[in-house]
Amino acid sequence: MKIDRIAVYRLPIDFGETRYTTGASGTAQASIDGTILRLDTDEGLVGWGEISPWGRSYLPEFAEGARAGIDVLAPALIGADPTDIAALHAVMDRHLDGHAYVKSGFDIAAHDLFGKSAGLPVYRLLGGLGSDRIPMNCAVYHGPFEEMAERIAAYRERPGYRIFSTKPGGEAVADIALYERLAGIRRSDEIFIADANRLWTLADALRVARAIEPLGFNLEQPCATYEACLRVRRATGATMTLDESVTDGDVLARLARDNAADIVHVKLSRIGGLAAARRFTAFCEIAGLSLSWASSGGTEIADMAALHAAAATPRAHLFGLWSCREFNTESYAQGAFEIVDGVTVPGTRAGLGIVPDEAALGQPIALFR
């Protein structure tokens, strides 16, 4: 099988009335600029991938950069065998150093094609079904306590939700007060995460971590750098998750050696896609670490890629999955996973298991043959 055509779509993904805020000093995200890839083959199969960064300043990835990288990589991939994932990555690495987020879109589409050609769901290609019930992680974006409590209550109206990722504002005194109030509404079977998304300085992170440690919060990515997070880790007994600073296998190995975290929250675009996800899962199983999965943002395509990574994670090592389409006002594909009682169940359809709505995607902005 050979790739003989690549189509690129630009897709504005709107959050409607939601203004997703990670902190008082951050910008409120009301939409994201998505890029969808369609890979056609000489055997008539089609694979779908996606690169939809969360704005321009959350991670070192942005939509215009993704499309510029696609212009470099797409011509080089015409004629490549999408079922030879290692060779596909070798071609991309020869033509573009780094920029894992750009490569992740092609990697996801290639896995979709590989699964369809084999008649298997993608998680089977990643090692098999490790978790048949995947718990969902709910994102409770920052705001006044009353608003955050309302968002938690709204999730609870759908039974089974137990993991709540709550975002601080970035000022230590106010954040301590916020988490003290949030702790007062946590139920005994629920997990509350204080997910700073790198927001705190080291001094503020230490102050908040020590203050809220008795409250039982999981602490996620308190500071911008790995080194600062490690200092917070060593100063508190709280369960620690690292997210944005986990960029590749070298950081993952260092994390295990330093005992820097208990949970690794992995965004597929950050590490380059599903081929890297398989390596991450194997390493974390050996190291005794738990994994939480997500895509930075996007449509059902990105969501299903993260689902397959989660489904291939052994249940003992799976912490949860965040749905990146949680705030989207529109649906862009059929067949995506549904959430029932706070969990989702992997399907058995071949490939990613979804059928994009090509009318919703509009006309391609670029074609490569």
Specify the length of the chain in residues. Answer: 369
**C-alpha–C-alpha distance, residues 334 and 196, integer Å:** 33
* Angle ∠(241,247,253) on CA atoms, nearest 5: 70
pLDDT at residue 24 is higher than 70? no
Q: Summarize pLDDT for 138-158 with one digit per residue, the tens.
A: 999 999 999 999 999 999 998
Which tokens sit at 351? 């490939």
Cα-Cα end-to-end distance for the chain = 15
Q: Summarize pLDDT for 220-232 with one digit per residue, the tens.
A: 999 999 999 999 9
Q: How high is the pLDDT of residue 307? A: 97
**C-alpha–C-alpha distance, residues 155 and 15, integer Å:** 17
Q: What's the mean pLDDT in 15-38? A: 83
CA 102 to chain centroid: 15
- Residues with a catalytic annotation lie at 167, 267
Q: What does the DSSP 8-state code read for residue 317? A: G
Sign, Cα dihedral of 244, 245, 248, 251? negative
Q: How high is the pLDDT of residue 29? A: 87
Q: How high is the pLDDT of residue 19? A: 86
